[in-house]
Structure 1
Amino acid sequence: MKIKYISLSVEDLQLSRPYTIAFKTISSVENGILRIHSEDGRTGHGAFNPIFEVVGETLTQAVALFRTDEAEFLAGRDIRELNQLCDEVQQKYRQSPALRTAFEIALYDLFCQNLQVPLVRFLGRKIQSMPTSVTIGILGVEQTLEEAREYIARKFRILKVKLGKSIDEDIERMLRLHELCKDDVALIVDANQGYDRAELLRFKNLTAKCNIRLIEQPVKAGNEHLLAGLPDDLREKLVADESLLSVKDASALSATPLLFGYFNIKLMKCGGITEALKIASVAESSGIRLMWGCNDESKISITAALHVAFACANTGYIDLDGSLDLKKDVVGGGFELKDGWMTISDKPGLGLETME
């Protein structure tokens, strides 16, 4: 099956409600939607929505870098050359993790449609289904509890809470949440680089009874040395997020003694499926488990991340709720969400259904 042409559009997917993280409030969502069209009428879908504060790239910059005539280096190529095509994409768009991600997702989608197998089966399925966490932004205590009650009523059993602006309020929020959830609902927190070493230890000690499963990126990227010598039971819960953008970062963070027990892999951070699998392999060789995360993204890239996550035996958590608060999307299908658990479609490729 040969590639005919590539198209790119920017879609305003909108948010059902704004939310706040440590460094900004998000109230709207635009995604780049990339489509690779084959000569036999099939379409591979890719999507991207980078966060500048993490990868140094905006959606506008990525779109400006895309040129239809330049992207036509894929025209006439055989999709069965998947690895070669991905290599060329990685080289051509080296400065744009967003475009690398979108191209690779679309290529893998089209390739597996041609094989008539789901992407996860091609990669080697290790996991059938998992519960996803669902995210509560930085809110006041009562608003946090109100949102938590809503998610619990919808049968989500893992809540991820954004922290990092005020440690005193962070501690109060978690203590109150634990009173609400007891041990029926697991709690994960994301400090978004908001703590220093002393604050992290204070947070750990004062929330000890909350049974917090994971603490994402407590210190600023580049300050990982502050985590050295922390108690083993704390470091085992720590998740590298902004500290982990590449395979090179993964290798450095895999050196002993380990500072993080988990790696948070986001396709938008590392630049696609190929790099994500390399990071996952480095982690597995060092006994590090995986958490798969996302931004506010179309179901296209969320589904792709889910397929890759389910192909990795060391996946411990998924945080793939990025399409759940969108008012609209350009595709349906892909995955099923029931009582907080995510399951992949058995349809070829990503199993997406076009809504155009």
Structure 2
Amino acid sequence: MLPAVTDLRARRYSAPLARPFITARRRVDTMLGVLVELELADGTVGHGSAGQSFGVTGESVDSVLAVLNGPVKQALTERADTGRREVAAGIAGSCVGNFAAKAAADMALHDAWARTLGVPLAEALGGDTATVLRTDMTVSLDTPQRMADAAVEAVGDGFDVLKIKLGNDWRADLERLRAVRDAAPDVRFRLDANQGWDVKAAIRVIRAIEDAGIPLELVEQPVADHDLAGMAAVTAAVDVPVMADESVSSPHSALEIVQRRAADMLNIKLAKCGGMDEALAIADIARAAGIECMVGAMMEPRISIAAAAHLAAAHPAVTLVDLDSAEWIDDPDLSGGYTLRGSEMHLHPGPGIGFAPWVKGEQE
């Protein structure tokens, strides 16, 4: 049994980015989000967080705070001692949508739960914190020269896999990728179009990249999230693995993608699906279908990245991670969860996900 939840505290979070984060859909200069603490009756405190992301979850800082301080808190604090899964189901059923807010509370719940067990979250979920995760580094959408310069800097920092943001215009995208390849010829590339191409453009640019011999691990979300038929057409037409990202928001959507053979891989993000149990269910579907998963994140506070890393270490279907978001945030005060050595993520060996509580009273 899990001790009853006695309090849920949430506060605004803001920190500048070290450099602008630019995709085909948005530009971010400042990290805006929410930090969460969940307290159990025995005094155990768990941590979670959420980022503002209108383009993916449709949530703002204000909406996340409203949901956490309203229906989520009510659903949690009205429960007596019960099991972890039942409490997580209470978060999921507290309101419609609002998945980033639910994920923040769910992270805090799972952090607290693992702390009561005295083990890291990855181990509580059946994984191993000794697993070394290797993340990529993102090169955001910009001019070819600036992207090339960013690639050189990332390689100098120890990253050998780069995630290249494209999806603006397929001809310009090819020029950008060629510039990055020339600047960093010894790395592997993951491309993320963020829904920026139509089907014909996606097939055209991916085939051109294949013909040029540029080494690609995958191409992520080449077309609009709702266009599963279009993504299936791209997947069938190219040799490079296609990964669904924005199209994957629940076990139901993952199952549909698998059944329609719309993608070769799935990208799981806690903020999209709302919590650990939903994320693990997506990974279970992928494993049953014999396909691999990536665990990724949006521009979110470090707590979210740590929780995602523990998720990645907990499921065998997860073979790739894209968890560099916190490295873009210029905030030395929010530390913990893991250590990054070049591209290697080493998880916190203590109970939970490894963040210290803030002073009580700092909440909204």
Normalising by structure 1, we get a TM-score of 0.93
Going from structure 1 to structure 2, the CA distance change for 1:354 and 1:338 (only over 3 Å counts) comes to farther
Q: Output one character per residue of 1:102-155: Cα deviation in whole Å (capped at 9) or x when no partner.
A: 111001100110110001111111670121011111110110111111111000
1:197 equivalent in structure 2: 199
Q: Would the alpha carbon gap of residues 232 and 220 (structure 1) be closer, same or farther in structure 2, given more than 3 Å must change?
A: closer
2:182 alignment partner in structure 1: 179
Instruction: Provide TM-score, normalisation by structure 2.
Output: 0.91
Aligned to 2:241: 237
Deviating more after overlay: 244-253 vs 16-25: 16-25
For 1:249, the aligned partner's letter is S
Deviations 1:149-185 (A, max 9, x none): 1111000111101101121121112122222322x31
Cα separation, 1, equivalents of 2:237 and 2:162: 21
Letter paired with 2:327: L
Say which of 49, 60, 78 aligns to 1:47: 49
Q: Which has the higher mean CA deviation after the structures are superposed, 298-307 or 31-40?
A: 31-40
Residue 230 of structure 2 corresponds to residue 226 of structure 1: yes
Deviations 1:204-224 (A, max 9, x none): 222121111110100112222
The answer for the alignment partner of 1:150 in structure 2 is: 153
Q: 1:214 to 1:153 in 2, by over 3 A?
A: same
Moved more, 263-272 or 232-241: 232-241
Matched to 1:93, the amino acid is C
User: Paired residue for 2:362?
Assistant: none
Aligned-residue identity in percent: 28
Indicate the larger mover: 213-222 or 199-208: 199-208
Query: Counterpart of 1:295 in structure 2: which amino acid?
Result: M
In 2, Cα distance between the equivalents of 1:331 and 1:78?
Answer: 32
1:86 aligns with one of 64, 85, 88: 88
User: What is the aligned residue count?
Assistant: 354
| Aligned counterpart in structure 2 of residue 60 of structure 1, from 62, 69, 78 | 62
**Letter matched to residue 161 of structure 2:** I
What is residue 212 of structure 1 aligned with on the other side? 216
Structure 1: which amino acid aligns with 2:308? A
Residue in structure 1 matching 2:257, options 224, 230, 253: 253
Listed one character per residue, the Cα deviations across residues 173-203 of structure 1 (whole Å, up to 9, x for unaligned) are 2122222322x31101101111122212221
Change (3 A) 1:310 1:79: farther
CA–CA separation in structure 1 for the residues paired with 2:96 and 2:251: 14
Write the distance in 1 (CA, Å) between the matches of 2:72 and 2:127: 35
Task: Name the CA shift for 1:85/1:163 in 2 (closer, same or farther; >3 Å).
Answer: same
The secondary structure found in structure 2 opposite 1:92 is coil
1:241-288, Cα deviation, whole Å (9 max, x unpaired): 1111111101101115x2211101110111111110111111111112
Distance across 1 between alignment mates of 2:139 and 2:195: 17
Query: What is the match of residue 343 of structure 2?
Result: 340
* Matches for 1:1-356 after TM superposition, within 5 Å: 1-67=3-69, 71-75=73-77, 81-125=83-127, 128-182=131-185, 184-208=186-210, 209-230=213-234, 234=238, 237-256=241-260, 258-328=261-331, 331-354=334-357
Is the 2:268–2:294 Cα contact (8 Å) retained in structure 1?
A: yes
CA distance in 1, matches of 2:291, 2:338: 26
Please state whether the residue corresponding to 2:158 is helix, strand or coil: coil
How far apart in 1 are the matches of 2:81 and 2:190?
A: 40
CA distance in 2, matches of 1:353, 1:7: 14
User: Does the CA-based 8 Å contact 1:80-1:111 persist in structure 2?
Assistant: no
Q: 1:70 to 1:90 in 2, by over 3 A?
A: closer
Unaligned stretches of 5+ residues in structure 1: none
1:227, distance to aligned residue in structure 2 (A): 3.5
Per-residue deviation, 1:38: 2.9
Shift of 1:351: 1.8
Counterpart residue type for residue 344 of structure 1: L
- Look up the equivalent residue of 1:188 and give its one-letter code: R
Alignment check: 8 A CA contact 2:203 2:237 kept:
no
Alpha carbons 1:15, 1:29 under 8 Å: kept: yes
| Alpha-carbon separation, structure 1, partners of 2:95 and 2:150 | 40
Q: Is the contact between residue 293 and residue 320 of structure 2 (CA under 8 Å) also seen in structure 1?
A: yes
**Cα distance in 1 for residues equivalent to 2:148 and 2:304:** 30
Measure how far apart 1:31 and its partner are. Answer: 1.3
Between 63-72 and 151-160, the greater mean CA deviation after superposition: 63-72
Equivalent position SS for 2:327: coil
Give the 3 Å change call, closer, same or farther, for CA 112–78 of structure 1 in structure 2.
farther
Q: Residue 41 and residue 330 in structure 1: after superposition, are their counterparts in 2 closer, same or farther (change >3 A)? A: farther
Distance change in 2, residues 1:77/1:64 (3 Å): closer
